[in-house]
Amino acid sequence: MMKRIGIMTSGGDAPGMNAAIRAVARKAMHEGLEVFGINYGFAGLVAGDIFQMTAQSVNDTIKRGGTMLYSARYPEFAQEEGQLKGIEQLNKFGIEALVVIGGDGSYHGALRLTEHGYNAIGLPGTIDNDIPYTDFTIGFDTSVNTVVEAIDRLQDTAASHERTFVVEVMGRGAGDIALWAGVAGAASDVIIPEHDFDVKKVAEKLRASREAGQKHAVIVLAEGVMHADEFAKELSAYGDFQLRSTVLGHVVRGGSPTARDRVLASEMGAYAVELLLEGKGGLAIGIQNNKLVNHNMLDLFDAKHEAQLDLYDLAHDLSI
């Protein structure tokens, strides 16, 4: 009968991670388990930076951005030597199973531990929304709302000075944040890595809009395409659009999570504990068609996240 589980966050932080930590901890305690927090991800696991949590440890954390367990990159965990050091610490603290909250790299570490006999469940904690077999990841909704708020403000100043703003947003190699924020923020154009684009056609569209009376514009650019300054430079070769570039950067990772992210994280966190109590590991949790699902982590490494390209078409249709 399992008695102790551990929780860690790994990779980039995402709003809602604390809500997931809270859900895992309190659901596990509700089931009579002892819960241990692991600081600084796999680096903290190897170092033994581990502490026992109580119900009070997660008081008032659901509304906080970032991660109360901190996060750190630790590529050494890809090697068996690092894994064995982590297992040594698990044995020392009597931890029998883990919940790992993070992205693709975090899942690799969780799978290695499962292969060594320590069941681990992965929760998709990343703003990029780039994990296969889940419609949404924890933190994505909050980041999109942050970007939309920034676009709304930039629309105001763009209109005041009849300028065109190129707004670069995070997402690594995925364009989901740009897509959703572009539609919600009434962007004049959305540029993502999953769809080809022609700078000359972007310029022609801007010129036609100006001739029709639309004197300002906001173009949303996913970071996986190119830097905003580079895009603005290429665009300026086709006309004077009073260009300005803005990189939102890490600001989209912070802030209090939205209600949607809090609920999603809570559902996923509780579900992870249920799976561990069933003796299951090596699984990644997702949500598809508004239903919680789980998939073998190995399947995720062979799959590829697909962008919702109908939103790309919608963004272009509505920006006429």
Q: Are strands 217-222 and 164-169 parallel, antiparallel or unpaired?
A: parallel
152 is in an annotated binding site: no
C-alpha–C-alpha distance, residues 56 and 59, integer Å: 5
Q: Which is nearest to 225 in space by CA: 267, 181, 185, 166?
A: 166
181 is in an annotated binding site: no
Active-site residue, selected from the candidate residues 13, 49, 60, 128 = 128
Name which of 21, 2, 14, 104 is nearest 272 in CA terms: 21
| Residue 25 among known ligand-binding residues | yes
- Asked whether residue 159 is marked as a ligand-binding residue, the answer is no
User: Per the annotation, does 133 bind a ligand?
Assistant: no
Give the 3-state DSSP-derived string for 188-215, with helices as H, strands as E and coil as C.
CEEECCCCCCCHHHHHHHHHHHHHCCCC
Integer Cα distance of 9 and 41 in angstroms = 5
Cross-strand pairs, 220: 167, 190
- Is 127 annotated for ligand binding? yes
Is 250 marked as a binding-site residue? Answer: yes
Tell me: is residue 282 an annotated ligand-binding position: no
105 is in an annotated binding site: yes
Per the annotation, does 240 bind a ligand? no
Is there a binding annotation on residue 251? Answer: yes
Does the annotation count 128 as an active-site position?
yes
Q: Which amino acid is at 195?
A: H
- Rounded Cα–Cα distance for residues 27 and 279 (Å): 16
Distance separating alpha carbons of residues 196 and 198, to the nearest angstrom: 7
Q: How far apart are CA 67 and CA 103, in angstroms?
A: 14
Q: Was 80 annotated as part of a binding site?
A: no
Asked if residue 44 belongs to a known ligand binding site, the reply is no
Closest listed residue to residue 8, CA positions, set 62, 187, 76, 18: 18
On whether 284 is known to bind a ligand per the annotation, the reply is: no
Instruction: Point out the annotated binding site for substrate.
Output: 126-128, 163, 170-172, 223, 244, 250-253
Instruction: Point out the annotated binding site.
Output: 12, 22-26, 73-74, 103-106, 126-128, 163, 170-172, 223, 244, 250-253
Instruction: Point out the annotated binding site for ADP.
Output: 22-26
Q: Enumerate the active-site residues.
A: 128
Instruction: Point out the annotated binding site for ATP.
Output: 12, 73-74, 103-106
